[in-house]
A = this chain, B = another copy of it.
Amino acid sequence: MIRGATIRDVAKRAGVSVSTASLALNGKPGVSAETRARVLRAALELDYHPHTAAKNLADGRTRTIGLIAPISLEHLFSSASFFMKLFRGLHHIAQRKGYVLSLYIAESDDEAALQIKSLVRSRAVDGLVITNPTFTSPYLEEIRRYRVPFVVIGRPVGKAPFVDNDNQAVGWMATRHLIEHGHKRIAFISGPDRFTFCQDRLLGYRKALEEAGVPYSRELVWRSEIVEEDACRVVKENFPKIRFTALLAATDVQAVGAIRALKEMGIKVPRDISVVCVNESELARHFMPSLTTVDLHERELGRRAMELLIQMIEDGVVREKGIYVEASLIIRESCGCNYGKGGGNEKEQGAPQKKSGKG
């Protein structure tokens, strides 16, 4: 690796001192326009790029954001697509503001906590984005003690700055769509309670039923892990016992499991049962029938998170606020509301994102 020009080389070529060169290169005041131009030209001629590590050491900032991801994320809600979209949003803002993203994958929350500690104490990052959806209070407390700016993706159990969808609104929106098309017996396939988004979507589901005067019935709510097989299982178990005309799944893979179960029992979607779910993904888009689903706008999630984080870093203020990003319903085939209408089978509905009280 060829040894590049240093700021000393630039200074010498421009006929100024190193300190003046530094000021000029960083656009700081205290340099005449003429001198600044001379320095900039010299830098250009030498193809000067400041040495990252030297800069970090001198001014104590790394311009690096640590992205903490749990290995388990891979198994969650078609998470590859979720994560990539989120990442695109994070990266977009980071790049624009001159920050770099470093990735850290941890096998467990304990390992993540350890990694975080090391990162912070060795001054490797200016801030953190934490995507572990099960990260709980003790961890957050610990991180808070480091006084490092951080933001959580998803609503954490403890108190912390976060960016998330209003998952109650998400559940509400999906359920509402089914109700509007006349359904009254709507099954809900939920996920484990350790995920706040599952709890919240269930609340939204109940709320929509309530508002419509449809009685809520516990026998219509089925727990399943967030994998196809388990959703398939709960549907097969419950279908013979319980009557329903529509089904809402907490995630897209669960919807797919449900549809497979129904198909294996000779039930057609959407002809016999309407299905709606959450998560926009390759799977939702390409499945047959294509899935009516709630798009979480992960990219926006990422953008907002990065904006919040960088603000915290640069202003030095830690805001405890949570930010909610709007979601929207994508109407496709599985709900059946445009079944048989042929032609363009996809419409997006920028839902009114009910300002549902949370807390």
Residues of B within 8 A of A281 (CB): 282
| Given known contacts A84-B74, A147-B2, A62 and B53 CB-to-CB distance under 8 angstroms | yes
| A187-235 at interface with B (beta carbon < 8 Å) | 228
Contact residues in B for A339 (Cβ distance below 8 Å): none
CB distance A286 to B102 under 8 Å? no
In the complex, are the beta carbons of B283 and A121 less than 8 A apart?
A: no
Question: Is B282 a contact of A260 with CB atoms below 8 Å?
Answer: no
Q: Is A123 an interface residue (CB 8 A)?
A: yes
CA distance A127 to B62 in the complex (A): 19
What 0/1 pattern do residues 173 to 195 of A give for CB contact below 8 A with B?
00000000000000000000000
- The answer on a CB contact under 8 Å between B118 and A103 is no
Cα distance A124–B99 when bound, in Å? 12
Residues in B whose Cβ lies below 8 Å from that of A95: 105
* In the assembled complex, A88 has its CB within 8 A of some CB on chain B: yes
Q: Which of A59-86 contact B (CB under 8 A)?
A: 62, 64, 71, 74, 78-81, 83-85
A91 near B: Cβ within 8 Å?
Answer: yes
B80 engages A282 (CB within 8 Å): yes
Whole-angstrom distance between the alpha carbons of A285 and B80 in the complex?
A: 14
Whether a CB of chain B sits under 8 angstroms from the CB of A87 is yes
CB-defined contacts of A57 to chain B, threshold 8 Å:
51, 53-54, 56-57
For residue A39, which residues in chain B have a CB less than 8 angstroms away from its CB?
none
Rounded to whole angstroms, the CA-CA distance of A100 and B52 in the bound complex is: 15
Interface positions, chain A 246-262, Cβ under 8 Å from B, are 253, 256, 259-260
A288 within 8 A of B: yes
A87 and B285 alpha carbons, distance in the complex (Å): 24
Closest to A145 in B: B2
Contact status A103-B87, CB under 8 Å: yes
When the two chains form their complex, are residues B84 and A286 in contact, meaning their CB atoms are under 8 A apart?
A: no
Shortest CB distance A22–B (Å): 15
In the complex, the answer to whether B51 meets A53 with C-beta atoms within 8 Å is no
Bound form: Cα–Cα A318–B327 in Å: 48
Contacts of A121 in B (CB 8 A): 4, 47, 49
Check A1 against B147 for contact (C-beta < 8 Å). Answer: yes
Contacts of A80 in B (CB 8 A): 80-81, 83-85, 282
CA distance A263 to B288 in the complex (A): 10
Flag whether A140 is at the interface (Cβ < 8 A). Answer: no
- Nearest Cβ on chain B to A29's Cβ, whole angstroms: 24
Query: Per-residue CB proximity of A95-128 to B under 8 Å, as 1/0?
Result: 1000011111100000000000010111110000
Docked Cα-Cα span, A83 to B87, in Å, equals 12
Give complex CA distance A282, B146 in Å: 38
A80 CA to B146 CA, complexed, in Å: 33
Kindly state the separation between the CA atoms of A347 and B128 in the bound complex, as whole angstroms.
42
Among A49, A118, A228, max chain B CB count under 10 A is at: A49
User: Which residue from B81, B146, B286 sits with its C-beta under 8 Å from A81?
Assistant: B81
List 5 additional contacts besides A49-B118, A91-B105, A253-B286; criterion CB under 8 Å. A1-B123, A1-B146, A52-B124, A83-B84, A282-B282
